[in-house]
């Protein structure tokens, strides 16, 4: 039997039901999509997207700034999947952006409409299912009210269906919720994460908000990927289950609560199948205790 993304159960992003194992589009454009390095193979990336949907993935996370010198994640998604399945939910992010040479810039509130419209154009859609306001490091401790308020206006105008926030503090989440409903929080989280992120995850569950970790597999490797050496405890748990370290990290992530979604990304068909299969991996309480001890 083929493992599918439905094996880990579902959650709702507003009125949109998604399988808890989704797909992150960053690596479709190459392992180092934010650098001038070599990109991925176009046809292989398209085949990975189509295979993901065949395996039950109905939640794809992307952004207009996911591009390498030759490939754009949004345009790959459009090429591979349009006309889109009725149940496919595509979430994107705005505020950060990159110019054609790859240099970063951050939008003012009045520029967010242009970023939303660029995502619409690249994806070939008339509205976006979920738009996350991705808070840049420079605004980590500041107010997000003006930017989130601008997105709320675009939601009222029908360009956006649901809103989320990304890379936020609890205070920023509360600030956003006072303006418009928030269906998800995207923050870095995984095995060994700081206690503050665990508290925010728990708070989201209490409020019925999806918590969507990024870097759940990559950890400290962040955009560059897992790479390097894996923690011995993760390796030991993986050996005990005949699983990969990435599967252990994903299974651990999903065990943190029914509102926790996973969006692992890959440009490799084999890794895609392994990631989806992680939804069937059952970790024991002893496994969870061992993994919890990683700091």
Closest CA to 133 of 166, 102, 107: 166
Look over the chain and give the mean of its residue pLDDT values, rounded to a whole number: 92
Residue 231: HSE in the Cβ half-sphere, 13 Å Cα cutoff: 20
Mention every residue, 6+ apart, whose C-beta is less than 8 A from residue 37.
30, 31, 68
Indicate if 66 belongs to the active site: yes
CA–CA separation, 292 and 191 (whole Å)? 7
pLDDT tens digit sequence for 99-115: 988 899 999 999 999 99
pLDDT of 221 above 50: no
Q: Cα dihedral sign for 213, 275, 205, 241?
A: negative
CA–CA separation, 128 and 120 (whole Å)? 7
pLDDT of residue 141: 86
pLDDT above 90 as % of the chain = 83
DSSP character string of 119-165 = HHHHHT-SSEEEEEEE--GGGTTS--HHHHHHHHHHHHTTSEEEEEE
82 DSSP assignment: P
pLDDT tens digit sequence for 29-79: 985 555 555 568 999 999 999 999 999 999 999 999 999 999 999 999 999
pLDDT of residue 224: 44
pLDDT of residue 149: 98
CA–CA separation, 52 and 73 (whole Å)? 14
Give the model's confidence band at 145: pLDDT under 50 very low, under 70 low, under 90 confident, else very high. very high
pLDDT of 245 above 50: yes
Instruction: Mean pLDDT check: name the lowest of 17-31, 102-116, 166-180, 186-200.
Output: 186-200
262 DSSP assignment: B
Closest CA to 266 of 76, 75, 28: 28
Residue 147 C-alpha from the chain's centroid:
20
pLDDT of residue 246: 94
Mention every residue, 6+ apart, whose C-beta is less than 8 A from residue 54.
none
Mean pLDDT of 208-235: 74
CA–CA separation, 23 and 53 (whole Å)? 9
pLDDT of residue 222: 45
In CATH, 5-292 is 1.10.3210.10: no
pLDDT of residue 32: 53
Catalytic residue from among 66, 67, 95, 189: 66
**Radius of gyration, alpha carbons of the chain:** 18
Q: Which residue has the tokens 């809103």?
A: 163
Mean pLDDT of 85-100: 97
- The domain segmentation of the chain, as residue ranges, is 5-292
pLDDT of 293 above 90: no
pLDDT of 217 above 90: no
């Amino acid at each position: 039997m083929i493992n599918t993304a439905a094996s880990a159960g579902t959650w709702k992003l507003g009125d949109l039901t998604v399988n808890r194992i989704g797909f992150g589009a960053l690596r479709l454009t190459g392992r180092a999509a934010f650098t001038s390095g070599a990109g991925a193979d176009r046809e292989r990336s398209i085949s990975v997207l189509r295979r993901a949907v065949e395996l039950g993935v109905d939640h794809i996370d992307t952004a207009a700034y996911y591009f390498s010198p030759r490939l754009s994640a949004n345009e790959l998604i459009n090429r591979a999947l349009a006309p889109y399945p009725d149940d496919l939910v595509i979430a994107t992010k705005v505020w950060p952006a990159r110019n054609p040479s790859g240099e970063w810039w951050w939008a003012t509130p009045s520029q967010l409409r242009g970023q939303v419209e660029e995502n619409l154009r690249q994806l070939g859609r008339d509205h976006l299912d979920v738009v996350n306001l991705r808070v840049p490091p420079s605004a980590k401790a500041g107010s997000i009210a003006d930017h989130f308020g601008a997105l709320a206006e675009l939601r009222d105008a029908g360009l956006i269906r649901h809103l989320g926030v990304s890379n936020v503090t609890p205070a920023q989440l509360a600030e956003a919720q006072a303006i418009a409903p928030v269906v998800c929080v995207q923050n870095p989280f995984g095995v060994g994460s700081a206690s503050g992120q665990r508290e925010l995850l728990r708070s989201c569950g209490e409020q019925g908000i999806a918590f969507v970790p990024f870097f759940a597999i990559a950890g400290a490797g962040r955009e560059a990927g897992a790479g390097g050496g894996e923690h011995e405890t993760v390796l030991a748990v993986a050996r005990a289950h005949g699983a990969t370290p990435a599967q252990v990290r994903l299974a651990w992530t999903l065990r943190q609560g029914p509102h926790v979604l996973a969006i692992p990304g890959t440009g490799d068909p084999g890794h895609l199948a392994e990631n989806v299969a992680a939804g069937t991996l059952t970790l024991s309480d002893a496994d969870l205790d061992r993994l919890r001890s990683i700091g």
